[in-house]
Structure 1
Amino acid sequence: MDLAGRVAIVTGAGRSLGRAYAIALAAAGASVVVNDVDADAAAEVVTEITGAGGQAIASVGAVGPADTAEKLVADAVAAFGRLDVLVANAGVLRDRVLWKMSDDDFDLVVSTHLRGTFTTGRAAAIQMKEQASAGDTRGGRIIVIGSPAGQFGNFGQTNYAAVKAGLVAMARTWSLELARDGITANAVIPIALSPMTATIPAYAEAYERFLAGEPIPTELRHDKGLGSPEDVAPLVVWLASPASQEVTGQAIGIGGDRLTLYSHPAVIETAYADGGWDAAGIDAAWRATFAAQAQPSGPPSRREG
């Protein structure tokens, strides 16, 4: 996948998944704006990219405010002349069960993930649309980062599950709004050993072994679809490339040895009552038809035990 001549912004690119995305995009030929709230981490990634012969600059700031988003796009244009790809990756966790979650826990996650993706997506779309209006036919790529929590829900993650579900809906909406200008919008649903997955008790030991350089067991890579950040990066490269120009509005999962296409929400069953429904009729319809098709909550890995 040749990304020569293309310019990408990756938010939250100082470590883990974001770092893997930035390095992979640069290795494919893209010039990369490495964003992170940690200036030293961003600088290290830039050094790694340029040391390997790639092009990159750092743009430091916490995503969320419109000013940060506009500066990211301005930095990309000033350094490399254009913008082709946005990978909206930056995120935080503040896990608590509902009755213990504070307003601050909720607001920080919403501001970083949902508002941060909205403001960076808006700024990127404006620049990409301007390029299209000037006759550029290369289009653009907006890639948001979801989570299985947003697809299935997850215990203790009211805030995180809500924003990750919202990001998929956001990408699907943008796929409609931006299609005329050749700009695609897709969601990547990664499953990877990272500081975030390390907070999940079932994966804490696996993460420590991964950091120690041990190979990820086959039962995790294949059966659970859980791998390294580098296992996720090829999907981001493909979605950033001309090869995926017809792919938009999709939620695509990747992790370890597994590649997954998630469905859009779909109507499972429908029933009708002439003149409308009363509560007793709803109860009867539920027991007779709907109950057998009720959808479980929680990630498949939890349901599988």
Structure 2
Amino acid sequence: KVAIFVSIDQLLETDPVNISSKLGRSVSVFKNGEPGKIIQDINQTRKDIGEYLFIEELGLIGIGVNKSKVEQKLFVVRKSTEGRALPESVAVPQIKKSVYNKIVMITGGAQGFGEGIARNLFKLGANIIIGDINSEKGEALVRELNEQKTPNRALFVKVNVADPISVDEAVAEVVLEYGGMDVMISNAGILKAGSLEEMDPDDFNMVTRVNYSGFFHCTRSASRVMKLQNRYNKNNYSDIIQINSKSGLSGSKKNFAYAGGKFGGIGLVQSFALELISDRIKVNAICPGNYFEGPLWSDPRDGLFVQYLEAGKVPGAKSVAEVKKHYESMVPAGRGCQPEDVVKAILYVIDQEYETGQAVPVTGGQVMLK
């Protein structure tokens, strides 16, 4: 459906009976509640949700914070529709699919697990937002996905998850483009291996800012939108999913910066889950095993195979090939984890309305819950 953007001041100053004429088209802003109560709620949460609201025919959907983008979008909508609503761009299938036509943001989505997750969810009909600091790879992936001419669409937004302002702006851009957010997949992460004597404090802090604090920033920004959506849609559930690691379930020798952040991430997952379930926002973690083919492991300059060889994590290993062989031999299932394995776990936690605060291992039996 086509969206309308309107400032909160305009809502507060307008007689609810005449809101349609004020917006320039018919719109049932107050379908799901008493006008006075909704306006009161909006005013009370004004500091949290920003200065602009995103509204469509069925009610209040999300937020916007960039006035110029809001005004530009409003002009385009009015000009293109001439007061008439456009048809749905994607028809709802008879068989419900868990992510079909949902709005899914994936941080760190330009490569590695994030890219694989994005490709698989796009195939299932999700509208995908690739959030990444790497514009070149992110934009290339979005172009490739959109060239498939499917009803769902992909969007790239540049974001640095270590910067809360960058995350806020990225989420606002998603809302302006799509009208809300159904799923936030916090996948962006970095790794610096080394012993206590070798680890530079700046490297440790950088890993912590991205892997630990970044998840907090993503959850805070996304949950604001999801709370607002769910307040006016009592049957709706939203999902925040951290792509954690098996290193969040079991310690990792000479890899404490990464493992510590991942252990802490599960603590955040459980705490956020307790806080947000009353808003029908589920928070879960997926803990994958090693994706040996991804750049995190196989990058010839900074990959884990290279880092672990240099850090001496595999006694006696003289080459990257020997390090890789060692890690492959540690997986009972006989192979590394693939993006398809992770996506199956993602679909489970989205489908399951009665599950929150969980850390789901996808490790081929390498790490088992106790």
- Provide TM-score, normalisation by structure 2: 0.63
Matching residue's letter, 1:205: A
Whether 1:197 and 2:304 are equivalent positions in the alignment is: no
**1:79: Cα distance to partner?**
1.1
Q: Determine helix, strand or coil for the equivalent of 1:86.
A: strand
Aligned residues of 2:111 and 2:295 also touching (Cα < 8 A) = no
Q: Distance in 2 between matches of 1:134 and 1:79?
A: 20
**1:226: Cα distance to partner?**
2.0
What is residue 225 of structure 2 aligned with on the other side? 127
What is residue 138 of structure 2 aligned with on the other side? 42
Aligned residues of 2:116 and 2:339 also touching (Cα < 8 A) = yes
Of 8, 12, 16, which aligns to 2:108? 12
Whether 1:110 and 2:220 are equivalent positions in the alignment is: no
Matching residue's letter, 2:268: M
Q: Determine helix, strand or coil for the equivalent of 2:356.
A: coil
What is residue 232 of structure 1 aligned with on the other side? 342
Equivalent positions of 1:155-194 (< 5 A) are: 155-191=253-289, 192-193=291-292, 194=294
What is residue 245 of structure 1 aligned with on the other side? 353
Q: Determine helix, strand or coil for the equivalent of 1:21.
A: helix
Aligned residues of 1:147 and 1:189 also touching (Cα < 8 A) = yes
What is residue 262 of structure 1 aligned with on the other side? 369
Q: Distance in 2 between matches of 1:48 and 1:28?
A: 16
Q: Distance in 1 between matches of 2:164 and 2:227?
A: 18
Matching residue's letter, 2:112: S
**1:47: Cα distance to partner?**
1.9
Please identify the structure whose Cα radius of gyration is greater: 2
Matching residue's letter, 1:236: I
What is residue 60 of structure 2 aligned with on the other side? none
Matching residue's letter, 1:244: Q
Q: Distance in 2 between matches of 1:231 and 1:173?
A: 26
Q: Summarize the Cα distance change of 1:207–1:76 in structure 2 as closer, same or farther, 3 Å threshold.
A: farther
Aligned residues of 1:12 and 1:18 also touching (Cα < 8 A) = yes
Aligned residues of 1:24 and 1:234 also touching (Cα < 8 A) = no
Q: Summarize the Cα distance change of 1:21–1:166 in structure 2 as closer, same or farther, 3 Å threshold.
A: same
Q: Summarize the Cα distance change of 1:116–1:84 in structure 2 as closer, same or farther, 3 Å threshold.
A: same
Of 163, 175, 178, which aligns to 1:80? 178
**1:167: Cα distance to partner?**
0.5
Q: Distance in 2 between matches of 1:39 and 1:180?
A: 36
**1:95: Cα distance to partner?**
1.1
Q: Distance in 2 between matches of 1:5 and 1:230?
A: 19
Q: CA RMSD in A?
A: 2.6
**1:247: Cα distance to partner?**
1.4
What is residue 286 of structure 1 aligned with on the other side? none
Aligned residues of 2:98 and 2:347 also touching (Cα < 8 A) = no
**1:157: Cα distance to partner?**
1.3
Provide runs of 4+ in structure 1 moved above 4 Å: 201-204, 206-209, 219-222, 257-261
Q: Distance in 1 between matches of 2:177 and 2:112?
A: 25
Aligned residues of 2:159 and 2:166 also touching (Cα < 8 A) = yes
1:203-243, CA deviations, whole angstroms, 9 ceiling, x for partnerless residues? Answer: 9439989xxxxxxx8x676535623233322222332x3x2
Q: Distance in 2 between matches of 1:60 and 1:115?
A: 18
Q: Summarize the Cα distance change of 1:182–1:206 in structure 2 as closer, same or farther, 3 Å threshold.
A: farther
Larger relative helix fraction = 1
| Ranges in structure 1 where 5+ consecutive residues have no aligned partner | 210-216, 264-305
**1:186: Cα distance to partner?**
0.5
Q: Distance in 2 between matches of 1:177 and 1:132?
A: 15
Q: Distance in 2 between matches of 1:35 and 1:151?
A: 26
Matching residue's letter, 1:36: D
Identity, in percent, stands at 25
Aligned residues of 1:63 and 1:90 also touching (Cα < 8 A) = yes
| Ranges in structure 2 where 5+ consecutive residues have no aligned partner | 1-96, 299-303
Moved more, 8-17 or 199-208: 199-208
Q: Distance in 1 between matches of 2:136 and 2:153?
A: 18
Q: Distance in 1 between matches of 2:337 and 2:212?
A: 25
